Structure formats: C-alpha cells, structure tokens
C-alpha cells in the first residue's frame, strides 16, 4: 500500500492541498510569492505533484521544480516555511508522523532546485 492509498487517495490529497494553501496564503512572508498567480491552477499542479510523490497513480509531466520556481528567487528560509506549513496541515488532518516524515524526506532534496540560495522577496 502506498502513502497515497494510506491517507485516502485523491480526496485526501485535495483536502490537504486546500488547507495547505489556506495556511501559505495567510502567511505574510509567503503570500507575496503568490501575487498575480492563478492559485486554482497552482492547486491543480500541487495536487498532481503530491499525488505522484506519495505513490498515486497519476503521472507528473510538468516542468522540473527548478524551472517552475526559477523566476521566484525563493529564499531557502521560505522553502522551509512552506514545508512547515505542509507539515502543520498534514498534522492537523491526522496524518501519522511516520508518513509526514516520509513526505518530508521526499521534499528535502527539492530545496536545492527550488531555493538555490534565492533572495527573499522584499516585504
């Protein structure tokens, strides 16, 4: 059984993405990254990415994480904040700690691609 199946499949991933973006968009340090962004479209990409990352049946054929985030100049600390918001979301949804650790382990290597010593957005 995959993590995707363990947490409840597409329905659970969708719920997690919705709650995750509520947290991210409410964070004054992270919200500026999303100004002018089609958040509904972004949520679709995020659902697909997470589903694939945790063993779902979908296939991700989008841009690499580095390409998708290059123009944003994401600060490493902001990458960590986003991961923290995801952990908070999954914890609030009752996802077991071991599963959250596995998901975090899958995300950790992406930091170098997404936030390669990026400059923080001016607040």
For residue 123, the model assigns a pLDDT of 41
Phi and psi of 33, rounded to 5°?
-65, -20
For residue 81, the model assigns a pLDDT of 94
Residue 123 domain-assigned?
no
DSSP for 13-63?
HHHHHHHHHHHHHH-TTTGGGGTT--HHHHHHHHHHHHHHHTT-S----S-
How far is it, in rounded angstroms, from Cα 108 to Cα 84? 12
Residue 122 domain-assigned?
no
Residue 38 domain-assigned?
yes
Residues of the chain with pLDDT under 50: 120, 122-123
Residue 120 domain-assigned?
no
Query: What is the domain-level CATH number for residue 88?
Result: 1.10.490.10
Q: Cβ neighbours of residue 12 under 8 Å, at least 6 residues apart?
A: 93
For residue 119, the model assigns a pLDDT of 53
Look at the chain and report how many structural domains it folds into: 1
């Amino acid at each position: 059984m995959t993590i995707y199946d363990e947490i409840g499949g597409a329905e659970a991933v969708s719920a997690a993405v919705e709650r995750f973006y509520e947290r991210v968009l409410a964070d004054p340090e992270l919200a500026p990254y999303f100004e002018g962004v089609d958040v509904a479209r972004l949520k679709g990409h995020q659902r697909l990415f997470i589903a694939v990352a945790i063993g779902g049946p979908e296939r991700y054929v989008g841009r690499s994480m580095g390409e998708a985030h290059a123009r944003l100049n994401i600060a490493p600390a902001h990458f960590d904040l986003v991961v923290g918001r995801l952990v908070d979301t999954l914890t609030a949804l009752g996802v077991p700690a071991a599963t959250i650790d596995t998901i975090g382990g899958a995300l950790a290597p992406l930091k170098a691609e997404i936030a390669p010593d990026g400059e923080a957005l001016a607040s």
